[in-house]
Amino acid sequence: MELTKEIQEFLHNNALERFLRYVKIWTTSDETKESVPSTKNQLDLGKLLTEELKELDLEDIAHDELGFVYAFLPPSKGFEQVPSIGLLAHVDTSPAVTGKDVKPVIHKNYDGKEIKFIQDKDLILNFDDSPHLKEYIGLDIITSEGDTLLGADDKAGIAEIMSACVAWTKFPELKHGPIVICFTPDEETGLGIDKVEIKKLPEICYTVDGGEIGELEYECFDAWRAEFIFHGLNVHSGYAKNKMINSIKIASMFFSDFPESESPEHTQQREGFFHLTKMKGKAEETTARMLIRDFDPEKNQRRIDYIKHLKNTYEIRYPGLIIDIKFTHQYQNMLKFIKKKPIIIDLAKKAIENADLEPKIHPIRGGTDGARLSAKGILTPNLFSGGLLFHSRKEHIPTLALQKAAEVLIYLAELWTKEK
């Protein structure tokens, strides 16, 4: 099957219209909260998506109090027995940059020059920031006005899934098996997917949450989080000699003893790192949070052992100091699960090729809902959504990516109809 020009144009226009609408809905999550949803405004987009799915006459549509949206697309006639697949994207946007009052801007027929932003005259987007822009000359590029992120992570994925759903209902020649749709809250905080109703998902799913056009990811970090409490002792500075234990000063020195070469800003590809993300305190007590990442669990264990050794060293160096550390295993490398069923990846590659794209296989220097799902037995690699420079005011996406991602989903569903 090859998609007609009519279907391609429909996908482009429909996905674009939806994306421009979705990004205007404020759905920033809150990493300081332990609840799901961490912010109630995520429910606003969920309500809209629920109504739109009802308009398409999908079945088993549900929007629960946690913010999950579920729906079922019945198979084409004659394909009831083919494997069911799930398509997932997340409704929340990163709290790293505000996502309130996003105003998308379309830069028509991009000419390769610097892209400037209406709300920040000093902010520019160029090839140094995003080398992929060279591939998008002549295309339309969407950004924010420069005072917010754009929200392509992951409202592009939502728009692409929704556009594919519309096409499946509008064009009966597009054959597919049973398809489960699931839009999730709080992917950015890492808490949402733990609350998903596993029984509603098929054993094979795909998240649409990746980056550049053509990207396919099925390997990610093994991820840990370390939370620190440095217990010191405050004493009046005039009488502090040999008495004060200045926890914030000691914590600053403690974290300066981590190798600078093993930080996010000095690593790439398969290199792991320590990432200090938060530190707050006074002389009496200081708290901090650190992410520990590597593709190899054994290397992460060595990092954890290093932290434990450093703790012991500092407690000896500063008598009376107590450092409490809590380690949490956040997610595993999904490769070890997905490689057990290579057909999942083979068909995804073929679908990308059918959309006249080159599959770009990259390990994820981060994590997706798919990592946790794969560990639970729901094998879930990650397909591209097309956005770039996520979590920043320079976030952008070519409109062509919205179309191409939707095309890949349609080809993927058709390929699965041939698997019994």
Please give the positions annotated as active site.
92, 187
Both tokens assigned to 271: 């290199």
Q: What CA–CA distance (Å, rounded) separates 257 from 240?
A: 25
The number of residues in the chain equals 420
Both tokens assigned to 86: 């799930």
What is the amino acid identity at position 318? Answer: Y
Both tokens assigned to 375: 């560990």
The whole-angstrom distance between residue 265's C-alpha and the CA centroid of its chain comes to: 19
User: Residue 180, SS3?
Assistant: strand
Q: What CA–CA distance (Å, rounded) separates 328 from 416?
A: 37
Q: What CA–CA distance (Å, rounded) separates 242 from 389?
A: 49
Q: What CA–CA distance (Å, rounded) separates 201 from 86?
A: 6
Both tokens assigned to 54: 């009802």
Q: Smallest Cα–Cα separation from 400: which of 231, 200, 160, 181?
A: 160
267 and 240 Cβ atoms separated by less than 8 Å: no
Q: What CA–CA distance (Å, rounded) separates 29 from 189?
A: 7
Both tokens assigned to 166: 């519309």
Both tokens assigned to 144: 């924010």
Alpha-carbon radius of gyration of the chain: 23
